[in-house]
Structure 1
Amino acid sequence: MSGPVMNNITNVAKMILATGLLTLMAACNAASDGGAAAEPPLAGANIGGTFTLTNQDGGKTSEQQFKGQYRIIYFGYTYCPDVCPVDLANIMLGLKQAEKANPALIKKIQPIFISVDPERDTPAVLKQYVSAFHPRLIGLTGSAEEIAAVAKKYLIIYDIRKDEGSSEYLVDHSRQAYLFGPEGEPLALLSFDGTPQQVADEITRWVR
């Protein structure tokens, strides 16, 4: 991964970590004062925002369509050789475990995959890809400008690495699996490096 991109990704991670630590400290203080419930780690963070992108069926999808639902959002691309499919599999297995334990979550949570490779990730490609991970996973793509705009709002850094003379390329990108609340507010990061059960536990901890 190139130096500038890696530095940007590190800065984003530090920003999210700092937000989580500050929130955790506030929650601990609240608990010691009166036993108040802990706030989500990303409560109050400036992450997320509006978007209108193209879904896997070729139609337009806006964040407003998910109003009232919790959202799991992961950015990646279908040609990713290793990281994205492993992350998505882990996150979606965790969601399935949470839904099995509490079937009511099926209506409360919408999983979303947003491509950072709009050149290759057409709606048809996305449709085949997302169906392999979860029956309700929505795939979103768009123009290069649309993807850049939404990635910026969600603190996602990515960089297309093309070798001279080759049509093949990789996309370096930051790895965040976000859980957002029913009003689009950031709640927590889901651990794609943990077990599906840890993902399920984090989901059920914050979804009401």
Structure 2
Amino acid sequence: MTALIGKKFEDSVLIMADKRITYRGTDKFSDDAKKIIVLNHNVIFAFAGVKNVIDLPLEELKAFASKTNSLDEIEAHAKKIFFASLKLFKELNPNQDCATVYILAGFTEDGIPRVTYFSSDDDFQKGNLLEFFYKAFPNSEMKFLRKFLINEVDVNKKNINYYIRNFSLAIRQINNEKVSKNAYSIFLSKNGLLEIQINEQGKFTIIPVNLK
């Protein structure tokens, strides 16, 4: 499952998620998942929910994004392929929960950052624009996450390290075995991409992302 938090700034976007993936139908999990993916130097992708719905179309989306920097084109293609994946998952698993969301963030042709949220609730067909956002699966953790972020985070701050510290603290405060204390983040700006790894103690390292 997942805790996903992010913010859009005037000229950049920061998205963070915990690193735990639980394997459906088992008690097994891993704590090395990257739920925010760089599609190209202009667009990043993040998800929460059923990994089976995401995995197959994500590879196709990566290939598509390698051929275009257009955020509009990538959003349109994503809607089509994730709808097909969700439909197939429902057909193969009619009695299983399929609640899933994904986020596409990038720069428009005018150079303005845009973050759009898509949900399985409407088959990924209606995009909602985001500014400061958070999502938790299990949904039972949403109330806590919302309260913590509203009370502890000043969204008027400009310093990126401030948000890294507080977003990761919010994730570590979640007391649920399906959410990791480790976090992973991507910062997208016009100056490039940064990858941020945050450990259980809140210490973080920032590394530039070099795209070939």
Fold conserved between structures, TM > 0.5: no
TM-score scaled by structure 2?
A: 0.28
TM-score by length of 1: 0.29
